[in-house]
A and B are shown apart, each in its own frame.
Chain A
Amino acid sequence: MEEKDKKNDKSSGSVEEKNQFVREVAQKKYEYGFTTDVQTEIIDRGLNEDVVRLISAKKEEPDWLLEFRLKAFRHWQTQQQPSWGHLTLPEIDYQAISYYADPTKGMKKDGPKSLDEIDPELMKTFDKLGIPLEERLALSGTAVDAVMDSVSVKTTFKEKLSERGIIFCSISEAVREYPDLVKQYLGSVVPYRDNYFAALNSAVFSDGSFVYIPKGVRCPMELSTYFRINARNTGQFERTLIVCDDGGYVSYLEGCTAPMRDENQLHAAIVEIVVNENAEVKYSTVQNWYPGDAEGRGGVLNLVTKRGHLRGANSKLSWTQVETGSAITWKYPSCVLAGDNSQAEFYSVAVTNNYQQADTGTKMIHLGRNTKSTIISKGISAGRSQNSYRGLVRVAPKADGARNYSSCDSLLLGSECGAHTFPYMDVHNDTAIVEHEATTSKISEEQLFYCNQRGIPTEEAVGLIVNGYAKDVINKLPMEFAVEAQKLLNVSLEGTVG
């Protein structure tokens, strides 16, 4: 009997220890909030035509690209910042931002030849971030195009990929090396007239990744980029362009961390994906930018336009996102299903805590025949945060046999937060089947009680339930990401219940 008690003590002790650990983790300040002193070339704050020209000149861009930027800039000037989101956006002073920072300047002009040539400070940053940039890369089999501020620092595995004709490089390099490809596809999915932030990005985008998968090639490894906002007050305006030609396949990962800053940092990126006949693209994101402190100060403004164009028949595109960071997240990774029999998927977990705000979801535009789309969205709000799902499913008159299934669930932790669902369904075809369902609830007392009864403390039980709740989405992530995402979920939510 006594022994049993002892055992109980022991086990409860270990649970207590675990809790202690979790609490420590929860109270931990944003781990990745450090600043690297890298020599950065930053241009003066402000935005006008000269700045656009200057960016273009610094990047030694061809005339057509400068023309593209200028057109976008002129269009941007005629636009007003949209305000329809379920968000309280702080006023953004576009003239107080520097639009270009280049951490590679100060090194040899032709860029680093080997790892030794990269600024050691920068290497440390990547170490802290845990990017397997060196040998670890080979083991993990990941090709990383590391974007730090604006210029792509080092692209690994390029040679191996190029053997198969795959192009994976920074977009500036692509402009130099493969101008025809870039010219053909840039702005073809997200035109600069698309929206306010798309126009801004098109005018001042600094760098990003370019992926081209040739006909019939399956990319043998997961491609991955790391974005990181480093220099103070520089907006990050990356531009990603992925083109997957007929019968190709690629899985692309994007992970984000940003150092701790007090001012809001603007992030207005564009991701364009072109999927041709029989091709398949998987795009996964784990976004963990600085969400601001517990009082809602600071944090990244994440205002991104992401869209995929399924041009060919039988093409496939899948977006998976885990959003835990950013003070404000406002984005709708979308799919235009133009090819017949094309399929699109959207899986999302969005977690908001403290004063974070998220208005995210997707758009599925069905144009082709027998197109299918699936939307699974899981929102979790805690603290005083506001979490909205907003999605559009449109079936065009000619999209015979279109099929959509959407499900968005929201989980509320705490009485001060909000969870909202704004689905839009526009159906213009009689053969379409469109379904939408949503639920909002808190964690049920019964589930918690059940766990408690079996010796699982409330805090752990919440973690378990939340992870189970998000499982549908996390399962869609590549392995390495899934582990990271699960950890993120726990850390983002600990301390919110109990």
Chain B
Amino acid sequence: MKSEQQYIDLFTANRDLLDRNGAAVMNACREKAFADFARLGFPTQKVERYKYTDVEAAFAPDYGVNLSRLEFAVNPYEAFRCDVPNLSTSLYFMVNDAFGQKSLPAAALPEGVAVCSLKQAAEIYPERVAACYAKLARTEKDAINALNTMLAQDGLFVYVPKGVAVERTIQVVNLLRSNVDLMVNRRVLVVLEDGAQARLLFCDHAMDDREFLTTQVVEVFAGADAHLDLYELEETHVKNRRFSNMYVDLQRGSVVNLYNFTLHNGLTRNRTDVSLSGEGAEVNLYGGVIADKEQHVDNNTLIDHRAERCTSRQLYKYVMDGRSVGAFAGRVLVRHGAQRTVSEERNANLCATREARMYAQPMLEIYADDVKCSHGSTVGQLDEQALFYMQQRGISREEAQMLLKFAFAGEVIDAIALEALRDRLRHLVEKRFRGELSRCSGCKLCK
């Protein structure tokens, strides 16, 4: 049986339930998404953008789906412990795809700023949501988008009105919690109006030792001169499969910095499509991956330069250990007329064991002549001379290796603007390299 069939059956059997528990704006997109999904099916590895990840296998098992919106009991104060020390944030949490409503004291946000459940938002301001929902994440060509759009019932909505700067970092802890194997379809919509500024921090955790399958579609709209820093930190477990599609649209003069760290996971595929639609926009992508055992991390990016004078930078670093598989495919597309584009793409990878595999594919596709584009990619291992030097000075080989790996990954961590988060990440990465599971100290959840 082809694995898409169970999703087709699921949708046809539970159409009413989906509509009943979803907002009208979201329901309106289901039919088309379903048709697209049924037509496309899951992409095979012959499809260029899915070359390195076997999608069908990940979707083949039979997962539970919480269509009737049962509430999962979670003590938010346990979740609260997974925070970043010394970083004052407006903290929210999501259990699977549901926004945690009541448990935390309401964070003080500037007026007009909304951080709430997407379903609620769609009911309160349907026009605002309808103008953005499923506008970037098109369902015609991507089966994951289609699947998510046809099944998504809730998610996160972040809205920052014109000219408003949100000082405090907005932190959203995504918790995966279930007593059975579960599929989660999360939807995130981030809208920054002209001149707005915000910092978002998404942390992914899995609380239960269950098989999880998460599809996440994130749509980010950055208005003219808006500024957004978006951090994503995945610390789940080997039984989690994550398919995240992020779409970012940048208007004139806006700046978006995207950080993505995969510290602990099972199978992760992050697709990031950035469209530089307005003149002078700037996007910076930083990715850090530390993988071992059987972990699989696939980052796939597309930077679409549509307007003049835009800048894009990408820096992805992988440390591959055990039998892990890493893939980085980055494509920079400079469209006709996108003159004076500056684009840099850099991908460096460390393979620490023989069984670890790395696939790198940095691509440039350029249709304009007044551009400066470059990409570089390396796959290698730790410098023997540096190791020898340190050993000579009495540092054990293991320690020396650790130091070098840490320095290697440090380049990405140093790019983080938030000092507290930077320290936190250094700490987590160090622990990770020391072979300790990346668990927060003192946290009851991750005993």
Contact = CB atoms under 8 A, between A and B. Distances in A.
Interface string B350-380: 0111111111111111111111111111111
Contacts of A439: 372-374
Most-contacted residue by chain A among B48, B353, B358, B371 (CB, 10 A): B358
B381 A431 contact: yes
Contacts of A429: 351, 354
A296 to B, nearest CB: 17
A421 B368 CA distance: 14
Given A430-B353, A430-B354, A432-B351, A440 B364 contact: yes
A440 B363 contact: no
Given A423-B361, A425-B379, A431-B381, A437 B354 contact: no
A436 interface: yes
Most-contacted residue by chain B among A423, A425, A428 (CB, 10 A): A425
B366 A418 contact: yes
B357 A423 contact: no
Contacts of B379: 395, 425, 427, 432-435
Interface of A: 84, 86, 395, 397, 410, 412-442
B378 A440 contact: no
B312 interface: no
B268 interface: no
Interface in B308-362: 336-337, 339, 349, 351-362
A86 B379 CA distance: 26
B358 A418 contact: no
Given A430-B352, A432-B379, A437-B374, A425 B369 contact: no
B439 to A, nearest CB: 27
A73 to B, nearest CB: 26
Given A436-B378, A441-B372, A427 B357 contact: yes
Contacts of B366: 410, 412, 418-420, 440
Closest 6 CB pairs of A and B: A412-B369, A425-B360, A437-B376, A440-B373, A434-B379, A421-B364
Contact of A427 (B339, B358, B375): B358
B380 A440 contact: no
Contacts of A418: 365-367
Given A425-B379, A436-B360, A415 B351 contact: no
11 contacts: A415-B339, A418-B365, A425-B360, A427-B358, A431-B354, A431-B381, A433-B381, A435-B379, A437-B374, A437-B376, A440-B366
Contacts of B360: 423-425, 427, 434, 436
Given A417-B369, A438-B364, A433 B380 contact: yes
A433 B354 CA distance: 13
Given A425-B358, A427-B351, A430-B354, A415 B370 contact: yes
Contacts of A423: 360-363, 377
A414 B377 contact: no
A410 B369 CA distance: 10
A309 B290 CA distance: 37
A343 B356 CA distance: 25
Contacts of A432: 351, 379-380
Contacts of A412: 366, 368-369, 371
A414 B336 CA distance: 11
A328 B353 CA distance: 42
Given A425-B359, A430-B356, A420 B381 contact: no
A422 B363 contact: yes
B375 A421 contact: yes
Nearest to A421: B364
Nearest to A389: B364
A441 B354 contact: no
Contacts of A422: 361, 363
A434 B370 contact: no
A116 B288 CA distance: 72
Given A423-B361, A427-B351, A430-B352, A436 B369 contact: no
B374 A438 contact: yes
Most-contacted residue by chain B among A415, A424, A427, A428 (CB, 10 A): A427
B261 to A, nearest CB: 22
Most-contacted residue by chain B among A413, A416, A421, A430 (CB, 10 A): A430
Given A423-B362, A424-B361, A436-B362, A413 B376 contact: no
Nearest to B376: A437
Contacts of A438: 362, 364, 374-376
Most-contacted residue by chain A among B356, B369, B380 (CB, 10 A): B369
Contacts of B376: 435-438
Nearest to A419: B366
A415 B368 contact: yes
B374 A415 contact: no
A440 B361 contact: no
Interface string B364-408: 111111111111111111000000000000000000000000000
Nearest to B52: A426
Nearest to A412: B369
A257 to B, nearest CB: 30
A440 B356 CA distance: 32
Given A415-B339, A432-B351, A438-B364, A426 B373 contact: no
